[in-house]
Structure 1
């Protein structure tokens, strides 16, 4: 099969529904020739239901990124379907309600947000290292621009800043092994994850008031998904530690 991911094997985390960016990454990756494996957390049957909507069947492997037992056995469990990986997609984030209150957020809530949303990029990648080596590969995560302070995002914004820093350190340490680490900073999308963000509507207003010169559709995950697939490919062989903004241009606009 032809395509920019022809012959590659890619692990995609974070498929919750068919509106998830991760779902569309998996779909486009398959269309571009990749063999795709998914991970699921919690209701695996639900993930399997959406996996069945992909162009080709994709196995679903259970993974809680905060469960060291899951991480320790991940490479072995992936090995039941593939003896190597060429790419990993990190689309995992979570913050308890308290993480969305900056001044009053308790450390327990903040630490959960950072562990799930940032530290997991490192733990997921290192868990898969036996399958990425010695051939190398590409790790791509999803972020929400952490260079500025957003209304209501609060400690989740701090967690995303930690994610962005984590990606740079992974790029530094794994580059000599032929492994690249990059992020896609996507604009806001109406999704299951968005429903858990207090004040999401106010946040999204930034994109709805004409500040995106290239335009933005809150219901279309395709542009962000295509950027992830491009970074998984061999078209960026020396690009690492980078953040590609797919937000209609909002990130570069002034007043």
Structure 2
């Protein structure tokens, strides 16, 4: 029996089968969960196709976390498939690579910065709030970050957005704790995902990891990160909230 046996999990932000969200959905199913996945717009068709590659084809919901109507209707959309949720995975981020990433920190236009913060940070709250009527004590929200305690090359305003995400997670932990709902983040090392490909110069980060991570690092292997997310979704961390779990081969703990 898996550690998510009987759990109902929504993984928001699944596009390609190379995405972290896809790997989380796969491991969650393997651990016994009933999984729903989501995307929106032109990517929705891709999501519906790659959903067939999971061990069990899950329902695919249309969800744009910046669309108030989508958020308002999310609970009813979920109830068409399951009667509640035990876990929510936030695997969503966006920053315009032409204007605020890849060495474009100085002069990044506010409109694009605001979009990055809304999609990548604020949406953790809005998604969680939309799912809150479906959750109860023991519920778990898990988001994805990239260590925002330092400034990285090429990451620029997305690093600022991730700092906002990390703070948002802590405030969600504070506000939802009395309801028995946990909120944590997983900070993964650089992975060959769709999001990473969109960041000009991101390969600089990948090269650092092979030299400094004491456990080594395979940027093509999503499985360790997915397992950590599923562990936080499970009942094995009942008193852990507001935490950031690093899955980076130990890179974050090393000096030069």
TM-score bracket for this pair, using the shorter chain length:
over 0.9
What SS class does the counterpart of residue 54 from structure 2 fall into?
coil
| Partner Cα separation in structure 2 for residue 111 and residue 203 of structure 1 | 25
Please show how residues 21-32 of structure 1 align to structure 2 within 5 Å: 21-32=20-31
Could you tell me how far apart the structure 1 residues matched to 2:193 and 2:11 are? 17
Equivalent in the alignment of 1:61 = 61
Q: Secondary structure at the match of 2:212?
A: coil
Unaligned runs of 5+ in 2: none
Aligned residues: 252
Match of 1:17 in 2: 16
| Alignment partners' CA distance in 2, 1:40 and 1:130 | 21
Aligned residue runs from structure 1 range 186-201, under 5 A: 186-201=188-203
1:44-193 to structure 2, matched below 5 A, reads 44-97=44-97, 98-100=99-101, 101-133=104-136, 135-193=137-195
Q: For each residue in 1:206-235, what CA deviation from the matched residue of structure 2 results, as whole angstroms up to 9, or x when unmatched?
A: 113x10000100111111000000000000
CA deviations 1:110-138 (Å, max 9, x no partner) are 000000000000000000011003x4400
TM-score by length of 1: 0.97
Corresponding residue for 2:222?
Answer: 221
* 1:173-207: CA deviation from partner (whole Å, max 9, x where unpaired): 00000100000000001121111101111121111
Residue range with higher mean Cα deviation, 225-234 or 34-43: 34-43
Q: Give unmatched runs, 5+ long, in structure 1.
A: none
The Cα RMSD (Å) is 0.8
TM-score with structure 2 length normalisation?
0.97
Aligned-partner Cα distance in 2 for 1:63–1:166: 20
In structure 2, distance between residues paired with 1:19 and 1:85: 25
Give the whole-Å Cα distance in 2 for the aligned partners of 1:113 and 1:40.
17
Runs (4+) of structure 1 exceeding 6 A deviation are none
